[in-house]
Structure 1
Amino acid sequence: MVLMTNSPAPSLNRLSVPELLEHSRALCTPLLREAIGRLATPLDSVASYHFGWTDRDGRPVEEYGGKAVRPALALLSAQAVNASPSTGATGGAAVELIHNFSLLHDDFMDGDETRRHRATSWKVFGPAQAILVGDALFTLATEVLLESPHHSDIETADAARAVHQVTSATRKLIDGQAQDISFEHRDRVSVEECREMEGNKTGALLACASSIGAILAGADDDTADSLDRFGHHLGLAFQAVDDLLGIWGTTEITGKPHWGDLRQRKKSLPVSAALAEGGQASRRLAELLATAEGRGEEDESKLAERAALIEKAGGRAWTQDEAGRQYKTALAALDEVAMPDSVREQFTELAQFIVHRKN
């Protein structure tokens, strides 16, 4: 049953986006730390390093651990049905565990050596430990949700619905990663194929985050589905921005290698859109991609040429427009949900932050 009451739930209202993210992190981090504390040594140490809680020697550091966008969405979705933000915290922690499971595996599969301005876990502790920690985070997400009725007023049936939501999103996420890897071995990928991949790899988990708090609060299916669609399209907007940063973002801001997606021959939205344009720059880009060998083996001049051709063929501008289109579609789905105006404003401000982010 949705928790509809005449008195307002404890609120995240009037918080700026940075304050909302920090508050969400503060609510979810203790749950994450408790879950990580269950892991055997050295998995707990590897996980603590990955989350940004410790350095490679296990010494505590000033905590970062990511932007906390997904936990914030989970907390807001609980408030959308007049539940307390704390109801969504369990869902936020579960989604963060799944997100970080994917990051640990993706970093190794993609050969990424830096994340959040420091060495990735597989570079520090080796691939085997990073993979095992990722596996462990996946199982912890289910544990956290199934145990939630024992520590709160969440109903057992709603916890089970949340587990289904998380596992379904995880399956799609894995599908998306498999598609992404397969695209690297193709000279050309259509925009439609790329959008489908990104809907799986990124949209599914943001959709889950945007609805899981409401599900744990007992929301009806229509409400959960609308919040899910909001998150899905917000995820596509988020990924479009990420694709732009993957080519034109600077290491100083993103913490990732300059032209990283080009080094890995990723067929992201800017590349797919540029190849579809069909003009002279598009044809030249197709020739370069057909003759490129492997990952990370091209010199800076060749990467710069490819980036320039993508921009000349309109790939950069098209992707910027696509982020805007998906953002508007996300807000339209949000309009389907009857919720307090203040919560709607928070959703909208967070969505704007995601679409206009720089890293």
Structure 2
Amino acid sequence: MTAREGRAAGVRPGSSSPQNSAGPDAWRLLKTARELTEPELRKAVNRLAEPARSVAGYHFGWSDERGRPASGAGGKGVRAALVLAAAQALGAAAEEAVAPAAVVELVHNFSVVHDDLMDGDPMRRGRRTAWSLFGTTQAILAGDALLAVAVDTLAHRFPQRCPEAVQELSGALLALVAGQGADLVFEDRADVGLDECLDMAAGKTASLLAASCALGALAAGAGAEQVDALREFGRHLGLAFQLVDDLLGIWGDTAVTGKPVGSDLRARKKSLPVVAALRSATPAGDRLAGLYHRTEPLDDAEIRTAARLIEEAGGRRWAQEEAERQRTAALGRLAATEVTPYGSRALTALAGLVTRRDL
């Protein structure tokens, strides 16, 4: 093990083995990622002008609606953890990738603030969403500000690979916007196919997870081949992440997810389990189509019926199996790439958390 690999694996100076020889725990990885990136995130948000600074601080859980300090959850930090683990997988210390880790969290939260507004979601992480509390205009401006400070942070805090990193991030952003746009268009279409729904998920969710892994590789000074490999790992993992998210959006527990039960069904979202059910050519799928294509709002009883019909039509099983297929593809890509043992275990642990979560 080289000295750099030792730092990446958490070896203490003068020791010969990692701090945790059994391998990293996913929740500990998330905790470490939050601890390392939060100072950078706060520094970035503090640069914003008011009222965007206060809206962003509330969204991250650092303050309440009146600006008083709070200790609310600001998200799990999966994307930041992937940046750090990808850097460690290629021999860098986690501290060398803090700036790009903070950047992907800023970009993710920009998209979340806008996504909540576009979807009309009143709750996230067990609290009112930014737009529902501060109004649509302030939420839009706060999201815009987070995106702007993310790009600025990448340019000034990651100068060693700035052109490549900005290109990586901008490509992910273009894909993210295209995926979000498709998601909204699908709500008004009755003929959405599974392939185009997977393409939408690849843009809306997988693109930023892919960029997270690629940015971690860049932070480690990796060449194009290794960057491509970790990007592909992140893309497959991102698709699995979205599939699990869609399952939780229908069958998850509000007390755990922080979002109202059935909100995706109430909005007639063409999520992946729904589209799989609608395209199943089954009696349950046909009955679901009758509910989903109505113009009248669905009441609570009809939302429960829709969830049952999705399961009967095979949508739930298909999404679970596809999530596992994408996770397996991600791990296969990782296994074919030369990475440090610790980094491999860290990325594998995060892949397991992402695809087997009950959040």
- Structure 2 vs 1, CA of residues 137 and 305 (structure 1 numbering), >3 Å: closer, same or farther? same
- Which residue of 272, 289, 295 maps to 2:292? 289
1:8 partnered with 2:6 = yes
State which drifts further: 97-106 or 249-258. 249-258
1:56 partnered with 2:65 = yes
Residue in structure 1 matched with residue 187 of structure 2 by the alignment: 184
CA distance in 2, matches of 1:232, 1:137: 23
TM-score (norm 1): 0.94
CA distance in 2, matches of 1:160, 1:210: 17
Compute the displacement of 1:145 (Å).
1.0
1:242 partnered with 2:245 = yes
- Structure 2 vs 1, CA of residues 7 and 180 (structure 1 numbering), >3 Å: closer, same or farther? closer
CA contact (8 A) 2:8 2:89 kept: no
Residue in structure 2 matched with residue 76 of structure 1 by the alignment: 85
Q: CA RMSD in A?
A: 1.4
CA contact (8 A) 1:11 1:85 kept: no
State which drifts further: 63-72 or 313-322. 63-72
Residue in structure 2 matched with residue 260 of structure 1 by the alignment: 263
Residue in structure 1 matched with residue 14 of structure 2 by the alignment: none
State which drifts further: 10-19 or 195-204. 10-19
Residue in structure 1 matched with residue 344 of structure 2 by the alignment: 344
CA contact (8 A) 1:188 1:286 kept: no
CA contact (8 A) 2:249 2:262 kept: yes
CA distance in 2, matches of 1:64, 1:319: 28
1:334 partnered with 2:343 = no
Compute the displacement of 1:216 (Å).
2.4
CA distance in 1, matches of 2:165, 2:119: 30
- Which residue of 214, 230, 233 maps to 2:233? 230
- Structure 2 vs 1, CA of residues 329 and 41 (structure 1 numbering), >3 Å: closer, same or farther? same
Residue 249 of structure 2: SS of its match in structure 1?
helix
Residue 112 of structure 1: SS of its match in structure 2?
coil
Residue in structure 2 matched with residue 98 of structure 1 by the alignment: 107
CA distance in 1, matches of 2:137, 2:309: 39
Residue in structure 1 matched with residue 13 of structure 2 by the alignment: none
CA contact (8 A) 2:4 2:92 kept: no
Residue in structure 2 matched with residue 143 of structure 1 by the alignment: 152
Unpaired runs of at least 5, structure 1: none
State which drifts further: 47-56 or 250-259. 250-259
Residue in structure 1 matched with residue 15 of structure 2 by the alignment: none
CA distance in 2, matches of 1:343, 1:291: 49
Compute the displacement of 1:5 (Å).
5.9
Superimposed CA distance per residue, residues 171-210 of structure 1 (whole angstroms, 9 cap, x where no aligned partner): 1000000000000001231111110000000000000111
CA contact (8 A) 1:277 1:314 kept: yes
Residue 277 of structure 1: SS of its match in structure 2?
coil
- Which residue of 199, 210, 220 maps to 1:196? 199
CA contact (8 A) 1:142 1:163 kept: yes
Compute the displacement of 1:282 (Å).
1.2
Aligned length: 347
Compute the displacement of 1:105 (Å).
0.4
Superimposed CA distance per residue, residues 233-285 of structure 1 (whole angstroms, 9 cap, x where no aligned partner): 00000100000011111211111010111011001111111112101111111
- The residue type paired with residue 205 of structure 2 is T
CA contact (8 A) 1:203 1:233 kept: yes
Residue in structure 1 matched with residue 355 of structure 2 by the alignment: 355
Residue in structure 1 matched with residue 141 of structure 2 by the alignment: 132
Superimposed CA distance per residue, residues 298-320 of structure 1 (whole angstroms, 9 cap, x where no aligned partner): 21111111111111000011101
Residue in structure 2 matched with residue 321 of structure 1 by the alignment: 321
CA contact (8 A) 1:74 1:209 kept: yes
Residue in structure 2 matched with residue 89 of structure 1 by the alignment: 98
- Which residue of 6, 31, 48 maps to 2:40? 31
CA distance in 2, matches of 1:71, 1:340: 19
- The residue type paired with residue 298 of structure 2 is E
CA distance in 2, matches of 1:63, 1:218: 35
- The residue type paired with residue 87 of structure 2 is A
- The residue type paired with residue 201 of structure 1 is K
CA distance in 2, matches of 1:203, 1:6: 30
Unpaired runs of at least 5, structure 2: 11-17
- The residue type paired with residue 9 of structure 1 is R
TM-score (norm 2): 0.94
Residue 103 of structure 1: SS of its match in structure 2?
helix
1:312 partnered with 2:338 = no
Identity %: 46
State which drifts further: 50-59 or 12-21. 12-21
- Which residue of 120, 126, 148 maps to 2:129? 120
CA distance in 1, matches of 2:337, 2:68: 45
- Structure 2 vs 1, CA of residues 6 and 104 (structure 1 numbering), >3 Å: closer, same or farther? closer
CA contact (8 A) 1:89 1:213 kept: no
Compute the displacement of 1:290 (Å).
2.1
